[in-house]
Chain A
Amino acid sequence: METSRVKPVVPVDARYAAATLAKRRAGRALFVCFMAVLVVADLFPLIWLFDFSLLKSGDFFASGILKWPDPPMWKNYADAFAKAHIMLLFANSLLVSGVSIVIIILASVFMGYAFTRMEWKWRKPLFALIMVGMIIPIYSTLLPNFIIFNQVHLLNTYWSLILPYAAFSIPISMFIVTGFMETIPRALEEAAVLDGLTIPGIIFRIILPVLRPAIATMAVISFLNCWNEFIMAVTYISEDSLRTLPFAVVYFMGQYTSNYGAQFAVLAMITIPSILIYLLFTDQITRGITAGAVKG
Chain B
Amino acid sequence: MSNQWFGLKKWAVVLIALTVIVAMSACGNGNTEGSGGTASSAPETTASNDAGNTAATNSDGGKEEQEKITLTFFTNNSDRNTGQGKVEQILIDQYMKEHPNITIKVETLSPDPQFQDKIKVYNASTSLPDIISAWGNVNYLGPLVANNALAELNRGELENLGFIPAALDSFSVDGKLYGFPRNSDFFVIYYNKKIFADNGLQVPKTEAELLDIFQKLKAKNIVPIAMDGQDAWVSGIWFDTMVQRAAGTWEVSHKAMDRSGSFKNEDTIMAARHMQQWIDAGAYGLGFLNQDYGTARNVFGQGKAAMYMMGEWEMGMASDENFPEEVRNNIGAFPFPSIEGGKGTTGDLTAWFGGGYAVSAYSKHKAEAIDFLKWMFRPDGWAKQVWVNGVTFPAQKYDQFMTGNETNVQKDLTQIFSNAKSYSGTVNQDKFTPDTQTTYYNSIQKLEGKQMTPEQFVEIIDQAAEQSANN
What is the interface size of chain A, counting residues whose CB is below 8 A from a CB of the partner? 54
A253 to B313, CA, bound (A): 15
Q: Which of B13-43 contact A (CB under 8 A)?
A: 15, 19, 22-23, 26-27, 30-31, 33-35, 37-38, 40, 43
Q: A158's contact among B27, B38, B109, B355, by CB below 8 Å, is which?
A: B27
- Contact indicator A255/B355 (Cβ below 8 Å): yes
B81: A residues at CB distance < 8 A: 83
The verdict on A241 contacting chain B, using a C-beta distance below 8 Å, is: yes
Do B79 and A253 have beta carbons less than 8 Å apart?
A: yes
Residues from 62 to 109 in B contacting A, C-beta threshold 8 Å: 72, 74, 76-85, 107-109
Interface residue A140 (Cβ < 8 Å from any Cβ of B)? no
Partner of A62, one of B12, B121, B304: B304
Which one of A16-24, A99-107, A120-128 contacts B?
Answer: A99-107
Chain B, residue nearest A100 (CB): B23
The answer to whether B83 and A254 touch across the interface, beta carbons within 8 angstroms, is yes
Q: Give the nearest-CB partner of A98 in chain B.
A: B26
CA distance A114 to B67 in the complex (A): 57
Give every chain B residue within 8 A of A201 (Cβ-Cβ).
Answer: 7
A259 — which chain B residues lie within 8 A by C-beta? Answer: 79, 82
- Kindly list chain B residues whose C-beta atoms are within 8 Å of the C-beta of A102: 19, 22-23
The residues of B that contact A251 with a CB separation of less than 8 Å are 78-80, 108
Given A153-B48, A156-B35, A260-B294, check contact A254 B125 (CB 8 Å).
no
User: Are B302 and A58 closer than 8 Å at their CB atoms?
Assistant: yes
Cross-chain contact B76 with A255 (CB below 8 angstroms): yes
Stretch at the interface among A130-138, A141-149, A218-226, A274-282: A141-149
Please state if A235 and B8 are interface contacts (CB–CB under 8 Å). no
Chain A hits for B85, CB < 8 A: 254-255
Interface string of A83-107 (1 = CB under 8 A from B): 1000000001001001100110010
Judge whether B108 and A250 touch: CB under 8 Å.
yes
Residues from chain A with a CB closer than 8 A to the CB of B355 are: 255
B121 touches A235 (CB 8 A): yes
A272 at interface, CB cutoff 8 A: no
Known: A151-B43, A241-B34. A57 touches B109 (CB 8 A): no
Q: Are B124 and A157 in contact (CB under 8 A)?
A: no
- B58 interfacial contact with A, CB 8 Å: no
- Contacts known (A62-B299, A257-B316); A252 close to B45, Cβ less than 8 A: no
- Chain B residues, CB < 8 A from A257: 79, 82-83, 294, 297, 316, 320
Q: Which of B40, B43, B48, B78 has the most CB of A within 10 A?
A: B78
Q: Interface residues of B toward A: which range?
A: 35 or more
CB distance A99 to B23 under 8 Å? yes
The answer to whether A156 and B125 have CB atoms under 8 Å apart is no
A162 touches B19 (CB 8 A): no
Tell me, rounded to whole Å, the shortest Cβ–Cβ distance linking A112 to chain B.
15
State A120–B76 Cα separation when bound (angstroms). Answer: 53
**Contacts A62-B304, A150-B43, A241-B33; A198 near B78 (Cβ below 8 A):** no
The answer to whether A143 and B124 touch across the interface, beta carbons within 8 angstroms, is yes
Q: Is A58 a contact of B320 with CB atoms below 8 Å? A: yes
CB pair B4–A153 under 8 Å, yes or no, is: no
Q: Contact partner of A254 among B3, B23, B110, B302, CB < 8 A? A: B110
B34 and A199 within 8 A (CB) = no
- Quick one: which of A238, A255, A258 contacts B107, CB cutoff 8 A? A238
Asked if B293 is at the interface of the complex by the 8 Å CB criterion, the answer is yes
Chain A 238-252 near chain B by CB (<8 Å), digits 1 or 0? 111110000000111
Q: Which B290-349 residues have C-beta < 8 A from chain A?
A: 293-295, 297-299, 301-302, 304, 313-314, 316, 320, 322-324
**20 A–B contacts, CB within 8 A, in A order:** A58-B301, A59-B302, A62-B301, A106-B15, A146-B124, A150-B45, A153-B37, A155-B45, A156-B45, A198-B8, A199-B4, A200-B7, A238-B74, A241-B33, A252-B78, A254-B110, A255-B85, A255-B112, A255-B355, A257-B79
Task: Report B's interface with A, CB cutoff 8 A.
Answer: 3-4, 7-8, 11-12, 15, 19, 22-23, 26-27, 30-31, 33-35, 37-38, 40, 43, 45, 47-48, 72, 74, 76-85, 107-112, 114, 118, 120-121, 124-125, 127, 129, 293-295, 297-299, 301-302, 304, 313-314, 316, 320, 322-324, 355
Contacts A156-B48, A256-B293 known; list 5 others, CB within 8 Å.
A83-B80, A147-B124, A150-B127, A199-B4, A237-B34
Q: Could you list which residues of chain A lie within 8 angstroms of chain B, going by C-beta atoms?
A: 56-63, 83, 92, 95, 98-99, 102-103, 106, 142-143, 146-147, 150-151, 153-159, 162, 198-201, 234-235, 237-242, 250-261
